[in-house]
Amino acid sequence: MTRTGGCRCGALRYTLDAEPLATRLCWCRDCQYWALGNAAVNIVVPRAAVSVDGTPRSWDSTADSGNRMRRSFCGECGTQLFSESEGNPQNMVIRVGSLDDAAGIAPTMVIWTASAPAWAHIDPALQAFPGQPQ
Ligand SMILES: [Zn+2]
Ligand SMILES: [Zn+2]
């Protein structure tokens, strides 16, 4: 199915023409910045299935995994939309909060649990990884 999404202000829109390869909660320290202290909810999707209307701003850094990462966001409203890793060029990550309709999308995996705060609830039903899964 085709899903659509975009930033809060509407300056950026995108279309996703594939089912997510994975849906993951991420507690890495970087995601705690983007997700306001919580875990980020991310889908991993084939990069070729995403088309973007508008030009996001982006910020590059080295992630806890050691990979160079590019995070893309709206320069107007600040909504985080995408992340891309040098170590996985065929796929990219979309922030689930930016989907118009996230019905049917639920996490199956939680990663970087070692960076989660003491109060975090790690759902025992999810496959959990202390760091980056292989
Ligand atoms: Zn915006
Ligand atoms: Zn993360």
DSSP 66: S
85-111 pLDDT, tens digit each: 998 999 999 999 999 999 999 999 999
Q: What is the pTM of this model?
A: 0.94
pLDDT at position 97: 97
Which residues, by Cβ under 5 Å, contact ligand 2, an ion? 26, 28, 31
Kindly state whether residue 74 falls inside one of the protein's structural domains. Answer: yes
- The tokens describing 31, both together, are 């995601």
- The Å distance, Cα 54 to ligand 2 centre, comes to 24
Count of structural domains, the chain: 1
Distance from C-alpha of 106 to C-alpha of 1, rounded to nearest angstrom: 16
Ligand nearest to the CA of 79: 1
Q: Give the H or E element holding residue 33.
A: helix 29-34
Domain residues for the domain of 62 are: 3-128
11-20 pLDDT, tens digit each: 999 999 999 9
Ligand nearest to the CA of 67: 2
46-83 pLDDT, tens digit each: 999 999 999 999 999 998 778 899 999 999 999 999 99
13-42 pLDDT, tens digit each: 999 999 999 999 999 999 999 999 999 999
Kindly state whether residue 79 falls inside one of the protein's structural domains. Answer: yes
Kindly state whether residue 18 falls inside one of the protein's structural domains. Answer: yes
Kindly state whether residue 133 falls inside one of the protein's structural domains. Answer: no
- The Å distance, Cα 134 to ligand 1 centre, comes to 33
- What CATH number is attached to the domain comprising 33? 2.170.150.70
In the chain, the amino acid numbered 18 is A
Kindly state whether residue 134 falls inside one of the protein's structural domains. Answer: no
Q: What is the mean pLDDT of the chain?
A: 95
Residue partners of 83: CB distance under 8 A and separation at least 6: 42, 69, 70, 71, 72, 92, 93, 95
Kindly state whether residue 20 falls inside one of the protein's structural domains. Answer: yes
Distance from C-alpha of 98 to C-alpha of 102, rounded to nearest angstrom: 9
